[in-house]
Amino acid sequence: MTDLTCAELVELVTEYLEGALPSGERQAFEVHLAACAGCAHYIEQIRYVTRLTGALAEQPVSDSTRAELLRLVRNWKTDQSQP
Ligand SMILES: [Zn+2]
């Protein structure tokens, strides 16, 4: 198992939420989440967004939908980190 950085976690988040991560990566992901409050909060935001859209739960996610979701949550995180 390798340690994830915050940036790597962000890259893996859609696969994680889809249950598409290999078990080793999933474990590394969850270890990082348990240790990193910022990422744990980030995941909660993404789960909220995906509940709103239903995209990840209801149907396969197209690349454009995935990109749009990632853009949305990245902008959201950036906005919230501003003082
Ligand atoms: Zn982190």
pLDDT in tens, 26-56: 999 999 999 999 999 999 888 888 777 765 5
Ligand 1 centroid, distance to 42 Cα (angstroms): 9
Distance 38 CA to ligand 1 centre (A): 6
Mean pLDDT taken over the chain: 80
Q: Where are the domains of the chain?
A: 6-81
CA–CA gap between residue 74 and residue 68 (Å, rounded):
10
Dist. CA 72 → ligand 1 center (Å): 18
Listed residue (7, 38, 4) closest to 24, CA to CA: 4
CA dist 78 and 59 (Å) reads 28
**pLDDT at 76 > cutoff 90:** no
29 C-alpha vs ligand 1 centroid, how far in Å?
A: 9
- Split at pLDDT 50, 70, 90, the class of 70 is confident
